[in-house]
Structure 1
Amino acid sequence: FLRWTTYGCVTATLLLGVTPHLLTALVLFGIANFCYQLGTIFYDALLWRVAPPGRLGQTSGIGAAFGYAGSMIGLLLLWPFVRWGGYQASFAPSALCFLLFALPSFLMIREARGPRPSSWRELMRTAWLRLGITVRFARRHRGLWGFLWASFFSSNAINTVLVFMAVYTRKIIGFTNTQLMTFFLFSQAFAIAGAIVFGKAVGRWGAKRTLAVVWCGWIAALGLLVADVSERLLWVAGPITGFCLGSTWATARVLLMELSPKDQLAEMFGLAGLFGRASSILGPLLWGLLVWDPARYPVALLSLIGLLVIGLWILSRVPEPPVSVTT
Structure 2
Amino acid sequence: MTPRARVADVGDERTRSHQRAWSWYDWANSAYVTTTGTVLISPYLTALARADACPGLPADQACRTDLSVLGVPVAVGSLAPYTITVATIVSAVFLLVVGAAADRTAHPTRLLGAFAWLGSAAAMGMFFLTGTNWQLGVVLLIVANLCLGSSIVVYDALLVRIAHPDDRDAVSSRGWALGYLGGGLLLALNLGLLQVHEALGVSYEMAVRLSLFSAGAWWAIFTLVPVWGLRRVAGTTREPVAARSGTVLGAFTQLRSTFREMRLFPQTLLFLLAYLFFNDGIQTVIYSASLYGSEELGFEAGQLILTILLVQFVAFGGSLLFGRVAGRFGAKRVVLAGLALWTAVVAFAFVVPAGAYAVWLVCATCIGIVLGGTQALSRSMYSQLVPAGRESEFFSFYQAMERGTSWLGTLAFGLIFQLTGSYRLSIIALIAFFVIGGLLLARVDMRKGIDDAGNQQPAIV
Q: Same fold (TM over 0.5)?
A: yes
Pair 1:22-2:22 in alignment: no
* Alignment-derived partner of residue 192 in structure 1: 316
Mark the CA change 1:262 to 1:122 in structure 2 (over 3 Å): closer, same or farther: closer
Q: What displacement does 1:311 show?
A: 0.8
Q: How many residue pairs get matched?
A: 324
* Alignment-derived partner of residue 106 in structure 1: 227
User: Could you say which structure has the higher helix fraction?
Assistant: 1
Match of 1:310 among 432, 436, 446: 436
Rounded to whole Å, the distance in 2 between the matches of 1:223 and 1:132 is 43
* Alignment-derived partner of residue 215 in structure 2: 94
* Alignment-derived partner of residue 129 in structure 1: 253
Task: Give the gaps of 5 or more residues in structure 2.
Answer: 1-110, 198-203, 449-455
Q: Secondary structure at the match of 2:233?
A: coil
* Alignment-derived partner of residue 73 in structure 1: 185
Alignment of 1:238-277 (within 5 A): 238-277=364-403
Alignment of 1:1-327 (within 5 A): 1-20=111-130, 21-51=133-163, 54-83=166-195, 84=197, 85-86=204-205, 87-109=208-230, 110-112=232-234, 123-230=247-354, 231=356, 232-292=358-418, 295-322=421-448, 324-325=457-458
Amino acid aligned to 1:4: A
* Alignment-derived partner of residue 453 in structure 2: none
Amino acid aligned to 1:178: G
Report if the CA contact (8 A) 1:203-1:326 is conserved: no
Report if the CA contact (8 A) 2:153-2:396 is conserved: yes
Q: Secondary structure at the match of 2:299?
A: coil
Report if the CA contact (8 A) 1:5-1:35 is conserved: yes
1:13-47 alpha-carbon deviations (Å, 9 max, x no partner):
11112123112212211111111122111111111
1:167-194 alpha-carbon deviations (Å, 9 max, x no partner):
2222222333332222122222221111
Report if the CA contact (8 A) 2:345-2:363 is conserved: yes
Q: What displacement does 1:269 show?
A: 1.0
Report if the CA contact (8 A) 1:56-1:325 is conserved: no
Report if the CA contact (8 A) 2:129-2:209 is conserved: no
Rounded to whole Å, the distance in 2 between the matches of 1:193 and 1:77 is 20
Structure 1 vs Structure 2 CA RMSD: 2.4
Report if the CA contact (8 A) 2:165-2:457 is conserved: no
Amino acid aligned to 1:27: V
Report if the CA contact (8 A) 1:287-1:300 is conserved: yes
Amino acid aligned to 1:71: G
Q: Secondary structure at the match of 1:221?
A: helix
Amino acid aligned to 1:262: A
Mark the CA change 1:145 to 1:139 in structure 2 (over 3 Å): closer, same or farther: same
Amino acid aligned to 2:425: V
Q: TM-score, normalised by structure 1?
A: 0.90
Q: What displacement does 1:53 show?
A: 6.6
Rounded to whole Å, the distance in 2 between the matches of 1:324 and 1:99 is 36
Percent identical among aligned pairs is: 27
Q: Secondary structure at the match of 1:291?
A: helix
Q: Secondary structure at the match of 1:4?
A: helix
Amino acid aligned to 1:222: V
Q: What displacement does 1:279 show?
A: 2.7
Larger Rg: 2
Rounded to whole Å, the distance in 2 between the matches of 1:105 and 1:263 is 21
Mark the CA change 1:116 to 1:7 in structure 2 (over 3 Å): closer, same or farther: farther
Amino acid aligned to 1:97: W
Report if the CA contact (8 A) 2:339-2:438 is conserved: yes
Report if the CA contact (8 A) 1:82-1:88 is conserved: no
Q: What displacement does 1:324 show?
A: 4.2
Return 1-10 or 230-239, whichever deviates more: 230-239
Amino acid aligned to 1:46: L
Amino acid aligned to 1:136: R
Q: TM-score, normalised by structure 2?
A: 0.65
Task: Give the gaps of 5 or more residues in structure 1.
Answer: none
Return 168-177 or 13-22, whichever deviates more: 168-177
Rounded to whole Å, the distance in 2 between the matches of 1:80 and 1:159 is 26
Q: What displacement does 1:246 show?
A: 1.1
